[in-house]
């Protein structure tokens, strides 16, 4: 994590005037930090050929209205050229650690919360946390839905692939040519469920296969058999294959990054330890990475980052109780914040920090304490008050000696 930014970071606005997202109506904004990044639809070509990219069509049920939140702030921020970027792509800030934005959209009649989340690259749990009072299966026509699309970059080297299992999110830092601005891509994930945790560590991609067959290991076949289900020794490529259309083998034996035939599980702990991606996302990533690409898997439920001189925190629920108690979590957060502001005259809002840690909502929150109010000026003394002071200072007349 870098120190506080002293200058605003020039960021690109990724929704061009021709984008289906460009004319969406602003429905509201959150208290989270505003970033002038926009959102584009998933483009079919990788970043190496940005000039040829075109937007994929929107789902009919998701052609809803939205606009950048905090429009005044966005217009005031310095921007680079208005270039089209795919959904989930962001320019790396030159100073700071925060990308994206939080905004709201309006649900249409046939929408589900899962569909809306996938439209904007957000997984199941993140959408439920951001919309606790909205029905998952029937939000209702006209319902305002929050898109928690703002992220603090993980505290890890910005190279290759970084997977944060606590966040259920993948970050990919593609290499850039000399003189080109760097990009980060981020995608929602499904990760290992309890007792089948996704392993942590640093590894590489060792193999890439399109339209893979699935050879379920004996442990998974026995698990299905115990539930009265029969799994074949080989599941061929096709719509019934849980690996989807792409798989990337990791250097950790038995573990993969792959697609899925059940996209509703992305954003949940549903796998046997592998990392699941939405079908369109895994195909986009597959086309960009090569064998040998580094993959760093972390479990970071508490992230700190700077943007425009403000410290932000982003917290997620622990995956299980083994990671510690709430008191331990708060104590560790205090230590990390104090280390981040060491040597700085930075007013931390510790009450807000504790609230974010105790009830993690998964969205960045500013930790800057509000300025102390100026003391009220003392009222000017009244004429009669001044007269009394003069009399008091003069004192009683001295007795005469004559």
Cβ 107 vs Cβ 114: under 8 Å: no
Cβ 349 vs Cβ 9: under 8 Å: no
Q: Which residue among the candidates 29, 37, 118, 258 is catalytic per the annotation?
A: 258
Annotated active-site residue 382? The verdict is no
* DSSP string for 263-314: GGGTTSEEESS-EE--HHHHHHHHTT--TT-EEEEE--SEEEEEETTEEEEE
Phi-psi group of 121: left, alpha or beta (phi > 0 → left; psi -120 to 50 → alpha; rest → beta): left
**Is 338 exposed, middle or buried, given 0-12, 13-18 or 19+ CB atoms closer than 10 A?**
exposed
Find, among 66, 73, 69, 44, the residue nearest to 56 by Cα.
Answer: 44
Q: Is the dihedral of CA 169, 353, 99, 305 positive or negative?
A: negative
Please, which residues have CB within 8 angstroms of residue 91's CB and are 6 or more apart in sequence? 11, 12, 37, 80, 85, 181, 182, 183, 184
SS3 category, 113: helix
- Residues with catalytic function: 258, 274
């Amino acid at each position: 994590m870098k120190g506080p930014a002293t200058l605003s970071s020039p960021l690109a606005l990724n929704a061009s005037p021709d984008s289906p997202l460009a004319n969406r109506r602003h429905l509201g904004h959150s208290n989270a930090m505003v970033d002038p990044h926009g959102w584009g639809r998933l483009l079919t070509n990788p970043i190496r050929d940005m000039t040829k990219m075109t937007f994929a069509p929107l789902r009919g049920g998701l052609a809803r209205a939205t606009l950048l939140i905090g429009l005044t702030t966005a217009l005031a921020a310095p921007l680079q050229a208005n270039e089209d970027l795919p959904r989930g792509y962001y320019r790396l800030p030159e100073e700071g650690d925060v990308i994206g934005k939080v905004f709201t959209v309006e649900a249409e009649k046939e929408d589900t919360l899962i569909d809306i989340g996938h439209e904007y690259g957000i997984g199941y749990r993140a959408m439920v946390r951001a919309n606790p009072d909205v029905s998952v299966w029937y939000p209702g026509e006209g319902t305002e839905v929050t898109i928690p699309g703002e992220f603090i970059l993980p505290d890890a080297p910005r190279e290759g692939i970084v997977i944060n299992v606590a966040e259920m999110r993948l970050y990919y830092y593609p290499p850039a040519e000399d003189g080109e601005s760097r990009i980060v891509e981020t995608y929602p994930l499904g990760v290992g469920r309890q007792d089948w945790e996704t392993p942590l560590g640093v590894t590489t991609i060792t193999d890439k296969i399109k339209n893979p067959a699935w050879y379920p290991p004996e442990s998974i076949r026995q698990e299905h058999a115990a539930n009265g289900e029969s799994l074949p020794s080989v599941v061929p490529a096709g719509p019934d294959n849980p690996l989807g259309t792409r798989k990337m083998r990791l250097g950790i034996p038995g573990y993969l990054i792959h697609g899925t035939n059940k996209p509703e599980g992305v954003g949940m702990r549903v796998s046997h330890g592998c990392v699941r991606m939405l079908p369109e996302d895994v195909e986009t990533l597959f086309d960009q990475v090569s064998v040998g690409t580094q993959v760093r898997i972390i479990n970071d439920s508490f992230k700190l980052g700077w943007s425009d001189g403000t410290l932000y925190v982003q917290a997620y629920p622990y995956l299980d109780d083994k990671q510690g108690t709430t008191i331990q979590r708060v104590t560790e957060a205090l230590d990390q914040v104090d280390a981040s502001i060491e040597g700085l005259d930075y007013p931390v809002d510790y009450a807000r920090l504790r609230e974010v840690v105790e009830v993690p909502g998964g969205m960045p929150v500013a930790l800057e304490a509000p300025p102390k109010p100026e003391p009220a000026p003392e009222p000017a003394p009244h004429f009669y008050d001044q007269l009394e002071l003069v009399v008091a200072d003069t004192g009683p007349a001295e007795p005469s000696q004559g």
